[in-house]
Amino acid sequence: MHDFRKLTVWTRSRALAVEIHGLCATETRPDRRLVTSQLKRAALSISANIAEGCGKGSRAETIRYLEIACGSAAETEHHLIMASDLAILSPQRVDPLVARTGELRRMLRALIDRLPQQPPARSAVAMRDADEEL
């Protein structure tokens, strides 16, 4: 339906996932790996769901995956806050990432609102009339 690589929201969500992965990559303590693993997965899921949604054939399917991406962004935000609360990541590193994640959610909502409406279904009579004109 759309080329996801041309979407700013995909580019930014991809960059966020790369940054989060880099921050969490050095964490080796087993008690902290659970949080960082979940954080990395949630962040990766944002751009993955945008890409998958853009590959769908209908507006409804695309919206469904963009909504899932919004959920992944909310989950990422939660895990970032928990990583700060648990002193896994410093608030100075987390706060800008939380702000960027919130911006991604707003961008996704705007994208959903801008998706073109699908043309109304044609009635059987209109289709028959169109076929007769050919």
pLDDT digits (tens, 9 = 90+) for 66-94: 999 999 999 999 999 999 999 999 999 99
Question: Regarding predicted confidence, which is higher, 82 or 124?
Answer: 82
**In contact, 46 and 72? CB cutoff 8 Å:** yes
Structure confidence at residue 119 as a pLDDT band (50, 70, 90): low
Q: Considering the chain, what percentage of its residues have pLDDT values greater than 70?
A: 87
The string of pLDDT tens digits covering residues 51-68 is: 999 999 888 999 999 999
Given this model, what pLDDT does residue 98 score? 98
CATH number of 4-133: 1.20.1440.60
User: What is the pTM for the complete model shown?
Assistant: 0.83
**DSSP classification of residue 77:** H
Query: Is residue 123's pLDDT more than 80?
Result: no
Residues 57-96 as b or e (16 or more Cβ within 10 Å = b): eeeeebbebbebbbbbbebbbebbbebbeeebbeeeebee
What residue segments make up the domains of the chain, in order of their start? Answer: 4-133
* 3 state DSSP class of 58: coil
